[in-house]
Structure 1
Amino acid sequence: MFSRNVNKSQTESFSRKRREAKGKSSFRDHAVSKSRHERSAVRRPPGEGTSTLENTLTASIITLVVGREQRLFAAHEDVLCHSPFFQAACRGQFLEATNKRVTLPDEEPEIFSSVLEYLYKGDYYPRLMHNKRKNTWELETAEGGCSVESTVYHHGVDGELLKDTVIYCTAEKYGLEELKRVALKKQGLQSGIQCSTILSSARYAYANTPDNDSKLRAHYLALIIRSRGTFKRSGTMQMEMQQGGSQLFFDLFVALCNHVDDVSSVAGSPRSVRTHH
């Protein structure tokens, strides 16, 4: 709900149509207020009973000051403490004791809003929707049936990044493993993303995940390989590789070699040879 409009003058794209509509975050209407606690908005962790829910409703309220513009958020301490990061913060590592305030100057308000929405509801906008007829997962659409904007402006890189990637990396920092899985699944449902956005998001993923991350990084490698025809013609890709100096491109080289080996192995198998004859 805080994201800026994407520059539509860029030409490199995986699809002919650019997403035209920008959805509004559903969490705006469910934000926690110091004067009013939304009982229906509180997310109860699996296996915990009503007493825990009641404790949450009477728990301390933590004020969070987010981003360069110092946007204010408020959340129940018990809800925040589902995250190891905020457990440490609420024990005093980052907390201003006099007014129970945590300052997060490097976070993007839109991203933090999604994280907070997940902590209360178990998902964030746009939500995952199960299509029973097709037995597939889809992302909910905005009012009017329009798709929801998939990118967010990030001040740290001064450009657009895939929102689900930034949420994944934020979940990594906050120790929210299930949120990482949700963000990765949603990212796999996105399409029509520009080459430049994919590359900048891949760089961000590499810079903000541990070296042993085997999911988000692998997602980007597979995405680039599947779309190699587009990336071969991409001036952005050429410039990125000429600049070099990133683990991303060595991993991409290894993945491409493995892909070629797999194709060669299948083509040279006895069954494949008999089929050609």
Structure 2
Amino acid sequence: MFSRNLNKSQTESFSKSRRNTKVKSSFREHAVLKTRPDRSHRKAPAEENSALGSTLTSSIITLVVGREQRLFAAHEDVLCHSPFFQAACRGQFLEATNKRISLPDEEPEIFSSILEYLYKGDYYPRLVHNKRRNAWELETGDESAGSIESTVYHHGVDGDLLKDTIIYCTAEKYGLDELKRVALRKQGLQSGIQCSTILASARYAYANTPDSDSKLRAHYLALIIRSRGTFKRSGTMQLEMHAGGSQIFFDLFVALCNHVDDISSIAGSSRIVRTHH
């Protein structure tokens, strides 16, 4: 997979500090010609269902992504491990003459991560297992390049959102359940996120996942409850609720009520035990 600009002057779709560094390098590093699988992580869908080498003999599909019309290329068989792209390649979305699919509402940086996952089974920064601590961590990468940004600018909301949340929601749309699990685990490893970014990302998550998909929503509810002291001091939550809010605030209310009920139940059980003694 690779990309290039149709209009070189348009470069504003990427997160502020990675527009000219991380993004460009990620496009080069994960080109379609790089076929060696990454043995240290879960295999990509293309590797699980057939030999990756055989899938790379399929035809090349061109994808026109975002407002800037950035061009990507990927093998049809690799794309078709997503039900969304399988339908697109077989249906009306594919321009038959030049095998091109247009995705004007996607963010190029996010789509780059989607393709990286389809080819390699993970996306930057990768998940690595710390054997000493027996815990999953995000790879640190090249320390000289600076810290890894956890947010991405999204044109649809005209602001920064958590990258892993956008990837989770995009994976939901593309029918990539394993990618959803990877994105959710990575988001759980993030820290130091501003309250405004958490709430904006939570609103995006609610708007772009079905009601039956509760995992990402539950993550945000737990995150807000854990960070309740910070939210109380910042005033961000108050402004959001005055503005009307969304379903997240009712869910948060229910979660807090359940938490209080659990505490009351434990306290009641303790009183009964002391009475019997």
TM-score, length basis structure 2: 0.85
Q: 1:55 aligned to 2:59?
A: no
Quote the Cα distance in structure 2 between the aligned partners of 1:251 and 1:86. Answer: 33
Quote the Cα distance in structure 2 between the aligned partners of 1:45 and 1:183. Answer: 18
Runs of 4+ with >6 A deviation: none
- Indicate the residue corresponding to 2:16 in structure 1: 5
Q: Secondary structure at the match of 1:269?
A: helix
- Indicate the residue corresponding to 1:64 in structure 2: 63
Structure-2 change in CA distance of 1:253 and 1:40 (3 Å): same
Q: Secondary structure at the match of 2:262?
A: helix
Q: Is the 8 A contact 1:94 1:102 kept in 2?
A: yes
Query: Greater RCO between the two (CA within 8 Å, min separation 6)?
Result: 1
Quote the Cα distance in structure 1 between the aligned partners of 2:200 and 2:21. Answer: 23
Q: 1:92 aligned to 2:88?
A: no
Q: Is the 8 A contact 1:23 1:147 kept in 2?
A: no
Quote the Cα distance in structure 1 between the aligned partners of 2:30 and 2:188. Answer: 28
- Indicate the residue corresponding to 2:256 in structure 1: 256
- Indicate the residue corresponding to 1:104 in structure 2: 103
C-alpha distance after superposition, 1:147-185 (max 9, x if no partner): 311000000000000000000000000000000000000
C-alpha distance after superposition, 1:60-94 (max 9, x if no partner): 00000000000100000000000000001100221
Q: 1:200 aligned to 2:211?
A: no
Q: Is the 8 A contact 1:165 1:184 kept in 2?
A: yes
Q: Is the 8 A contact 1:23 1:142 kept in 2?
A: no
Quote the Cα distance in structure 1 between the aligned partners of 2:257 and 2:128. Answer: 36
Q: Displacement, 1:144?
A: 1.6
- Indicate the residue corresponding to 2:124 in structure 1: 125
Could you tell me which runs of 5 or more consecutive residues in structure 1 were left unpaired when the two chains were aligned: 7-19
Q: Displacement, 1:245?
A: 4.6
- Indicate the residue corresponding to 2:34 in structure 1: 38
Q: Displacement, 1:23?
A: 7.4
- Indicate the residue corresponding to 1:215 in structure 2: 215
Q: 1:24 aligned to 2:55?
A: no
Q: Displacement, 1:268?
A: 2.5
Q: Secondary structure at the match of 1:112?
A: helix
Answer with 138-147 or 99-108: which moved more.
Answer: 138-147
C-alpha distance after superposition, 1:3-48 (max 9, x if no partner): 3227xxxxxxxxxxxxx9x972563233435xxx333269564554
Q: Displacement, 1:237?
A: 1.0
- Indicate the residue corresponding to 2:156 in structure 1: 156
Quote the Cα distance in structure 1 between the aligned partners of 2:159 and 2:70. Answer: 20
Q: Is the 8 A contact 2:67 2:104 kept in 1?
A: yes
Q: Displacement, 1:271?
A: 6.6
Quote the Cα distance in structure 2 between the aligned partners of 1:41 and 1:222. Answer: 35
C-alpha distance after superposition, 1:120-167 (max 9, x if no partner): 000000000100001011001131275311000000000000000000
Q: Secondary structure at the match of 1:270?
A: helix
Structure-2 change in CA distance of 1:63 and 1:272 (3 Å): farther
| Equivalent AA in structure 1 for residue 35 of structure 2 | R
Q: Is the 8 A contact 2:46 2:55 kept in 1?
A: no
TM-score, length basis structure 1: 0.85
Quote the Cα distance in structure 1 between the aligned partners of 2:236 and 2:248. Answer: 15
Q: Secondary structure at the match of 1:192?
A: coil
Quote the Cα distance in structure 2 between the aligned partners of 1:208 and 1:135. Answer: 33
Structure-2 change in CA distance of 1:179 and 1:44 (3 Å): closer
Quote the Cα distance in structure 2 between the aligned partners of 1:223 and 1:44. Answer: 30
Percent sequence identity is 77
| Equivalent AA in structure 2 for residue 214 of structure 1 | S
Structure-2 change in CA distance of 1:93 and 1:271 (3 Å): farther
User: How much is the aligned-residue C-alpha RMSD, in angstroms?
Assistant: 2.5
